[in-house]
Each structure stands twice: as structure tokens, then as C-alpha cells.
Structure 1
């Protein structure tokens, strides 16, 4: 697929997603936007759902739908990407992320562990209160 076709496909997909998000926002109760997309993406939220678009790979943008209201199935996210023909979107992935937020550290290459940061904060607060 040529670079021009990929750009046109991405642009058309972005417009479709924008229109769908606009319909969700207009037809539902107004709520504040809770997510910020990066890389030229768009975002919006309504009724406990956040819709965010952004690059998934070099060739495609994706639509992430995040369910935020508290249920047995939330928070959860789903990813949709356009099919190569550009006239349909494909449900690509889903995950219930509620348990993910209980993980303290995973593939973390930072210099300070969470425990060390906590100790340093306690030390700073203790020394600052003297």
C-alpha cells in the first residue's frame, strides 16, 4: 500500500471515528473529557466511556474505547483498527484492566523502586517537619 493511500485511509478513519464520537457526546449527558490523545489523535467521553484515537502502527490509527464506570467489567478497554480496504473497522483486542492497576512494578527500568521512593518521601517529610 502506498504512503498516499495509507494517509488517505488514516484521514478517512479519523473522520469516521470523530463523527461517531461526536454522536456519542451529543446524544448523551455531557461529562468532562477525561483523556488526552497524543500524536494528533482525538478523544471524548460520555456515560462512563472514553473514546481515544491514535497511532497503533505505522500504517493505521486505532480507536480505543475505555469503560470507566465501576462495574464487575471495568475498567476495561477495547481496540478497533480499520481493515485494509478502509470500509470497515475490526475489533482487535480487549482487556479488563482492573487488576492491572494492582501491579506495583512490571518491566520498570527506573532508577528508584517504589519502596525506595516511599522511604525517601518519608525522610523528606520527617526532615521538613523539624
Structure 2
């Protein structure tokens, strides 16, 4: 997850979950990476013999697995993608200070080259 503070994945058919995940990503300090998987039932379904749009959505729905993992485990997000099962929800969460806050703390302790106070920015 390239060191992102929060990593999540959701699918467009789960609208309330998508909204909650985006809200969590925005409120999380630092960088958040959120993958939203969107189906294209009209094109993808026909090209893969999955039948009608409704049949494709139902097929995808049975493969979605809400994630119940330890989000503090940085290796959990590195699990390989397995066709037929999509982990969704928050996949990784790292509670650390965002870069700006960490840098300002460093400057207050006498390191770095802070130009003025944090109130000037």
C-alpha cells in the first residue's frame, strides 16, 4: 500500500459502505488510498458469458467478502488478489502523525529549518 495510512476497497453496488469508507479516508490523518471497484454489467457481462446484468451483479455479490482483519497488521494488505473473492472494507490502518505534523514537531524540538511558526502557514 506504499505506506498509506489507510487502505480500503469497496464495490459500487454497496453504496452505504462506499460512503462510509470515503468518509473514513477523508477523516484519517495523512494519505489514504481507497479503491472503488465498479462493474460494467453491459459490456463485461456480455463478453464473459455471465448472462444478463442482473446475473452478473448477483455473481459478483456472492464473491464479495467484507474484511474482518487486524487493520493494524501492515502485511494484511499485501495478501495476493484471489479471483472469486474480493476483500472489502478497511484493509490496513496505520495511526501515525501525518507528515506536516511530524515535521512541525521536529522543528519545535530544534531540528530542521522551520520558517516562522505553524500559525504563519
Which of the five TM-score ranges fits, normalised by the shorter chain? under 0.3
TM superposition score normalised by structure 1: 0.24
- TM-score normalized with structure 2 length: 0.25
Relative contact order higher in (CA < 8 Å, ≥ 6 apart): 2
Bigger helix fraction: 2
